[in-house]
Amino acid sequence: MLSVSGLFKQYTSYDGTPGGGVFGADFALKEGELFTLLGPSGCGKTTTLRSIAGLETPQQGRIQLKDRDLYNSATGANVPMYDRDIGMVFQSYAIWPHMTVFENAAYPLKVGRKKKHSSAEIERKVKEALDMVGLGAFIQRPSTQLSGGQQQRLALARAFTREPDLLLLDEPLSNLDAQLREQMRSELKRLQKETGVTAIYVTHDQSEALAISDRIAVMNEGKIVQLGAPKEIYNRPTSEFVANFIGRTNLIHGELAADASAETIRSVTTALGPLNCFFPAAVPATKSLAVVVRPEHIRIRKAGTPIEAESDNRLTGTLTAETYLGEIVEYVVAAGSKEFLVRTPFVQPIAPGDAVTLAFAPDRTIALIEA
């Protein structure tokens, strides 16, 4: 479908010093997939997206869509953006204020030169697209009278009217308020599955990425650091960066006496005693391991209460703070010199100052090479 290889683009700031960009990204999309580029600002995700769209010209690499070179530094091929058959939804929506809802959605059909459309055909297609996003009743409205959420839908309809080979979404939900964002998120996913369009979604919001994607590419400093399905990324981070960036995590420094092969459980020495850890990748014996445990993978009990699984790692500590958040409770536990964050839906009969026991399964205790 879409394949990107060796994509390289470095910005130069005005004083000539090299700046950010993307430094060698490789990935390929499957037909009908929703693929997310996730990373902090400045990680190169937007540059990657804009290079695919043709809004930026890369310096190196190759971008292929349906076996056609959109860009290839080796042959000098660079298809202009109006010829790429890519639909895009912008962060600011980019709804033209001087056109009506209909005119906005019809624009791609009117200016595209690949095939001419009769006005009846345009009307039908626009109506279809607007109905699909639930804007059918607003067809003759001036676009300036739309709310933020409606503008978002219109931007989506406009990207769909062209029946593009590929849909690009550049942080499309970041300008919406929290409630609307969740609603649009599920609607986006529904529309994408219904139309079967292949889509690339760019966001810095990890929960959004986890909820919507078929696969996620986590980017940092211009490179893809991990690529996989949401569950894989969350439960089996392969680097300290990914573990920290996706969700909150507890981090313990550890040492490994003997080489560990991939997907095995080995004992790791830490300041809090030995812990049995899962190794997602092969790691040679080292003095700098990062052991990460998600707050929701830790069970907390009052000291002395029996804990079910025998194989679990166990720590004892003192409860220092409790935050009640409604659906969950957050506990902060001091164990040795470390503070642990624990999140659980079950309120425990404990109060700050109490001695507590923490337990977490070895396959939820991930050992990574320290960054």
Instruction: Please state the φ and ψ torsions of residue 113, each to the nearest 5 degrees.
Output: -105, -5
> How far apart are alpha carbons 347 and 147 in whole angstroms?
41
Shortest spacing between CB 131 and other proteins, in angstroms:
20
> How far apart are alpha carbons 263 and 360 in whole angstroms?
18
Shortest spacing between CB 52 and other proteins, in angstroms:
11
Total site size for other proteins, rule CB under 8 A: 40
> How far apart are alpha carbons 9 and 111 in whole angstroms?
30
Which secondary-structure segment (H or E) carries 88?
Answer: strand 86-89
Which of helix, strand or coil describes residue 186? helix
According to the binding rule CB under 8 A, does residue 83 interact with other proteins? yes
> How far apart are alpha carbons 116 and 245 in whole angstroms?
47
Contact 268, 369 (CB under 8 A): no
Nearest to 73 by CA among 132, 14, 9: 9
Shortest spacing between CB 129 and other proteins, in angstroms:
13
Q: Which of 39, 54, 172, 222 binds other proteins (CB under 8 A)?
A: 54
Site for other proteins in 149-178 (CB under 8 A): 155, 158, 162, 168
Q: Which of 40, 107, 175, 223 binds other proteins (CB under 8 A)?
A: 107
User: Closer to other proteins at the Cβ: 10 or 195?
Assistant: 10
According to the binding rule CB under 8 A, does residue 84 interact with other proteins? yes
Query: Angle 180-183-188 (CA atoms, 0-180°, nearest 5)?
Result: 115
> How far apart are alpha carbons 8 and 16 in whole angstroms?
18
Q: Which of 69, 90, 211, 330 binds other proteins (CB under 8 A)?
A: 90
- Please identify, among the stretches 22-30, 111-119, 203-211, 348-356, the one whose residues bind other proteins according to the rule CB under 8 A: 111-119
Q: Which of 25, 29, 53, 63 binds other proteins (CB under 8 A)?
A: 53
User: Closer to other proteins at the Cβ: 21 or 237?
Assistant: 21
Shortest spacing between CB 44 and other proteins, in angstroms:
13
User: Closer to other proteins at the Cβ: 105 or 256?
Assistant: 105
- Please identify, among the stretches 81-89, 295-303, 345-353, 355-363, the one whose residues bind other proteins according to the rule CB under 8 A: 81-89
Contact 191, 183 (CB under 8 A): no
> How far apart are alpha carbons 371 and 75 in whole angstroms?
38
Shortest spacing between CB 182 and other proteins, in angstroms:
23
Site for other proteins in 269-308 (CB under 8 A): none
> How far apart are alpha carbons 296 and 233 in whole angstroms?
16
Residue type, 218: V
Which residues face 78 on adjacent strands? Answer: 71
Shortest spacing between CB 75 and other proteins, in angstroms:
10
- The binding site for other proteins (CB under 8 A) comprises 9, 11-14, 53-57, 76-78, 80-88, 90-94, 96-98, 107-108, 111-114, 155, 158, 162, 168
